[in-house]
Amino acid sequence: MAYYNLGHAYYRLSLYKDAIEAFKQAIRIDPDFANVHGGLGYVYFLSGDRNSALDKYKILKDLGYTNH
């Protein structure tokens, strides 16, 4: 949870490279944490890496994540 929160803080400061690294560390610790994949996908999207963003959203689908 700490790396997820750190990634989110970096994202809010528009420090996308740092956010990506923090989110990746959170995924290494808990690969099934859907919110981290979503956050990482969004930061990839904002930084212009659309292919990596799409990969993260596919993982969300595989994890059964729905935003309802």
pLDDT tens digits for range 51-60: 999 999 899 8
More confident of the two residues 65 and 6: 6
Query: pTM value?
Result: 0.86
Residue 6, pLDDT above cutoff 90: yes
Could you tell me the CATH superfamily of domain 2-62?
Tetratricopeptide repeat domain (1.25.40.10)
- How do residues 20-55 score in pLDDT, each as one tens digit? 999 999 999 999 998 999 999 999 999 999 999 999
- The CA distances from residue 23 to 9, 29, 68, in Å, are 11, 10, 23
Residue 68, pLDDT above cutoff 70: no
The string of DSSP codes covering 26-67 is HHHH-TT-HHHHHHHHHHHHHTT-HHHHHHHHHHHHHTT---
Q: What's the pLDDT score for residue 60?
A: 86
